[in-house]
C-alpha cells in the first residue's frame, strides 16, 4: 500500500484531537492513495467520571479505517488527554503514567500507554498523546507507533503491541497509574462519527 488518504487525514484532524491530530495528519497526507471507497471513523469524547479526581481534564479518542478496492486497508488510532494545573491526582508519579483502557461488554481488551508531550506540565497543561497507524496491503502489513503504544492482548504477559480493533459502543477509560493503584478520571463511549462515501 502506498499510503493513506489525505482526506482521511483531514477527518482525523477535525475530530477534536487537537495536537494529536496535527501530529498524525502530516504523516497521512504525505502518503496519499487514490480515493478509497470506504471510510469509517469512531470517536469517543472523554468526560470526567469516577468521583472527578481530575474534574478539569478533557480528552478524546478516535479509531478510523480506510479500505481500498484491491485489498488495501489502513487503520489509525489516536488519543489526546489534557490536564490543566494543578493536578493533585497525578502528583504521585513524575512523569505521570497515563493509560487509556478499552473495554467491550464490561471486559477490558486493550490498554494503551500515552506519552507526555514536550513543553507540557509545570504551569502549562499536561498533554498526553497516542497515535498509531497500521497499513495493510494483500499479505503485507506495517505498524507505525507515532506516539505511545497499545497492548492488545491483556491475557498474555508483557505488552503485545498493536492497534486495537475498536467498535462502536466500546468504552474508553483514562486512568492514572501509580504503583498498583489505578485512578480512573475520564470515560467515554465510541460512536460512529461519520461514514462518508469518498469521491
Give the pLDDT of residue 66: 75
CA distances from 163 to 35, 131, 134, 141 (A): 23, 10, 7, 12
Percent over 90 (pLDDT), the chain: 32
* Residue pLDDT, tens place only, 42-96: 888 899 999 888 888 999 898 888 776 666 777 889 898 999 887 666 655 567 8
- For 87, the 3-state DSSP assignment is coil
Percent over 70 (pLDDT), the chain: 70
* CA 161 – CA 158 distance, rounded (Å): 9
Give the pLDDT of residue 139: 76
Give the pLDDT of residue 125: 87
Give the domain ranges of the chain.
Answer: 6-192
Give the pLDDT of residue 38: 60
Spell out, as residue ranges, where the chain has pLDDT lower than 50: 1-37, 196-199
Radius of gyration of the chain (CA): 17
This prediction's pTM:
0.76
Contact 172, 61 (CB under 8 A): yes
Give the pLDDT of residue 175: 95
Cell of 16: 477534536
Give the pLDDT of residue 39: 62
Amino acid at each position: 500500500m502506498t499510503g493513506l488518504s489525505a482526506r482521511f487525514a483531514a477527518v482525523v484532524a477535525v475530530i477534536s484531537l487537537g495536537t494529536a491530530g496535527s501530529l498524525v495528519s502530516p504523516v497521512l497526507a504525505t502518503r496519499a492513495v487514490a480515493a478509497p471507497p470506504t471510510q469509517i471513523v469512531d470517536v469517543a469524547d472523554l468526560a470526567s467520571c469516577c468521583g472527578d479526581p481530575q474534574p478539569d481534564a478533557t480528552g478524546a479518542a478516535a479509531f478510523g479505517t480506510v479500505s481500498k478496492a484491491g485489498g488495501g486497508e489502513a487503520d489509525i488510532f489516536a488519543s489526546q488527554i489534557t490536564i490543566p494545573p494543578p493536578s493533585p491526582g497525578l502528583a504521585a508519579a513524575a512523569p505521570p503514567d497515563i493509560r487509556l483502557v478499552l473495554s467491550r461488554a464490561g471486559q477490558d481488551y486493550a490498554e494503551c500507554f500515552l506519552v507526555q508531550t514536550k513543553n507540557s506540565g509545570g504551569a502549562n497543561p499536561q498533554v498526553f498523546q497516542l497515535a498509531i497507524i497500521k497499513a495493510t496491503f494483500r499479505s503485507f502489513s506495517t505498524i507505525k507507533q507515532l506516539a505511545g503504544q497499545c497492548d492488545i492482548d491483556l491475557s498474555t504477559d508483557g505488552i503485545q503491541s498493536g492497534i486495537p480493533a475498536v467498535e462502536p459502543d466500546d468504552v474508553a477509560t483514562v486512568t492514572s497509574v501509580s504503583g498498583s493503584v489505578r485512578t480512573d478520571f475520564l470515560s467515554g463511549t465510541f460512536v460512529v462519527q461519520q461514514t462518508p462515501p469518498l469521491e
